[in-house]
Amino acid sequence: MSHNFDEIVSRENSRCEKYDNREMIFGTADVLPMWVADTDFRTPDFIVEAIRKRAEHEVFGYPAFPDYYFEAIRNWLWQQHSWKVDKSSLAFCPNVVVGIASAVISMTSPGDKIIVQPPVYFPFFHVVEKNNRLLVENPLKIENGKYCFDFDDLLGKLDSSVKMLLLCSPHNPGGRVWSKDELQKLSDICRAYNIIIVSDEIHSDLTMPGVTHFPFAAISPETAMSTVTVSSASKTFNIAGLSSAYVVISNPVLMEKYNHFMEATHIGSGNIFGLTATEAAYNNGNEWLNDLRAYVASNHRFLSEFFRNYIPKARVMEAEGSFLSWVDISELGLNSRQAAVKLANAGIGISPGYLFGHGGDNFIRINVGCPQSVLEKALIIMKQVFSE
Ligand SMILES: Cc1ncc(COP(=O)(O)O)c(C=O)c1O
C-alpha cells in the first residue's frame, strides 16, 4: 500500500469541526472523535501538491470553470461508475447539501410534499422543513439485517402533491449500496407519479470490495430526465473543508431552474482550492482510492469482529459502502442518547442514531475512517462502557 493510512495526523487546532468542536458537542475536548463524517487520513500528495502549486501563485481572485475541470469529473464518473455524463449536464455547487437544497427550492414550491427515507443523514429533513415543504417519511425497513426500501409504504403515501424524493445512495448511516433492481423499482414508481429524485451520491466511490455503486440517473435515459444527482470528491479524498461539489442534471428544464437559483443567490462562484483539489483528485486518484477502500474495509471487518467477540449483544449492520458503521445497541438496554452520553464520559464521541430520525434511536454511528490503532483504542473503551 503506497499511502500510510496508519499514520496518526494531529488535527487539533486545525480549524476542523471534528476535533475543534468537541467541547461544544460532547462537553469535553477529551474524546476520541468518531462522529462527524470526515476521515482522519492525510489528503493524498497529488492533491496537496496541486493546492501548494496553486497557492504559490499568490493571487487568489475569482475562479473560472475551465473545460478540463468538468472533463476530470466526467472521466471519473465514467472510470469509477461506468456512467457517461454530458458536459451540458454538469454544474458546480458549493457543497452537496447546498445542491440538494437548491433542487428543493428551485424545483418545488412551498407546501409541496417531499419524501425522505429515514433513518437518514439529517440535513435531508432540514432542507425540506426549513424551506417550508411538507416532509413525508417513507421509513426504510430492515430485512435480513440490511435496510431496504418499503415500496408498499411509499405507494400508500404518493399523490399528486408529492413532487420530490431525496435518495441517499449509498446510504448514510446504514452503509447500504442500493442494487440496480431496487433503484429501478424506485425509479419506476417515481416516474409514474412525476416525482423528481434528488440522489445524493457523495459516498459512491467508497464501496467495499466486491460491491458496485449504481448511479441512479444511469437506470435509463427517462430516469435521467427526472433526476438531480449531487456528488463531490470531498468524502473520498478528505477535502470537505474545501467546499466543492457538483450536480448532474440531464433535463434542460431542471438545469435551467438550478442555474436560475444559482444566479438568484450568487452562491455558485466556487473556491479556487476546492476546484484545484477536485481536479487533482479525479485525475490522479484511482490507485489511491483502491488502497483507501481496502483500508476502510479492513477497519469495518476489525470493528465487526471486535463487536462479535466482546460486545455480542450489539449488532453491527454490514457496511457495503462508506466509512461509517451503524450499530444496533437496543439489546444493551440503552437508547442512542444514553449510549452517546456514557461513551462521551468515557472518552469516545459517536453520533447517536436518534439524530437520523425514525428508526435511528436503537443505533449509534461510529466513524471508522481513522488509523486502525485509533479504532482499536476506541473499541476497547466501548467494551468497558458496554460491559458495565
Ligand atoms: C450523505 C451525505 N450527504 C452530504 C454530506 C455533506 O456534504 P457537503 O459537506 O458537501 O454538504 C454528508 C456528510 O456527512 C453525507 O453523509
C-alpha 121 – ligand 1 centre gap (Å): 8
Query: How is 41-81 classified by DSSP, letter by letter?
Result: SPPPHHHHHHHHHHHHT---------HHHHHHHHHHHHHHH
C-alpha 312 – ligand 1 centre gap (Å): 31
Give the nearest ligand 1 atom to 168 CA.
1
Cα–chain center distance at 332: 28
**Which residue CA neighbors atom 13 of ligand 1 most closely?**
37
- Tens digit of each residue's pLDDT (9 = 90 or more) over 44-59: 999 999 999 999 999 9
CATH 3.40.720.10 fits 59-284, yes or no: no
On whether the pTM is more than 0.85, the answer is yes
- Tens digit of each residue's pLDDT (9 = 90 or more) over 307-344: 999 999 999 999 999 999 999 999 999 999 999 999 99
C-alpha 153 – ligand 1 centre gap (Å): 26
pLDDT in the model for residue 388? 79
C-alpha 230 – ligand 1 centre gap (Å): 10
Instruction: Write out residues with Cβ below 6 Å of ligand 1.
Output: 37, 95-97, 121, 168, 172, 200, 202-203, 232, 234, 240, 245
Q: How far is CA 110 from CA 130, 134, 198, 287, 364, in A?
A: 10, 8, 17, 45, 33
How far is Cα 319 from Cα 363, in angstroms, rounded to an integer?
Answer: 14
- Tens digit of each residue's pLDDT (9 = 90 or more) over 211-250: 999 999 999 999 999 999 999 999 999 999 999 999 999 9
Going by C-alpha positions, the residue among 360, 359, 365, 357 that lies closest to residue 122 is: 357
How far is Cα 129 from Cα 102, in angstroms, rounded to an integer?
Answer: 14
Domain ranges across the chain: 17-44+286-387, 59-284
335 by Cβ neighbours in 10 Å (0-12 / 13-18 / 19+) ranks as middle
Give the nearest ligand 1 atom to 322 CA.
16
Q: Binning pLDDT at 50, 70 and 90, where does residue 293 land? A: very high
Give the nearest ligand 1 atom to 98 CA.
11
Helix (H, G, I), strand (E, B) or coil at 368: coil
Cα–chain center distance at 55: 28
C-alpha 232 – ligand 1 centre gap (Å): 9
Superfamily of domain 17-44+286-387: Aspartate Aminotransferase, domain 1 (3.90.1150.10)
In this predicted structure, the answer to whether residue 103 has a pLDDT above a threshold of 70 is yes
**Mean pLDDT over all residues of the chain?**
97
Q: How many Å is the maximal CA-CA distance in the chain? A: 59
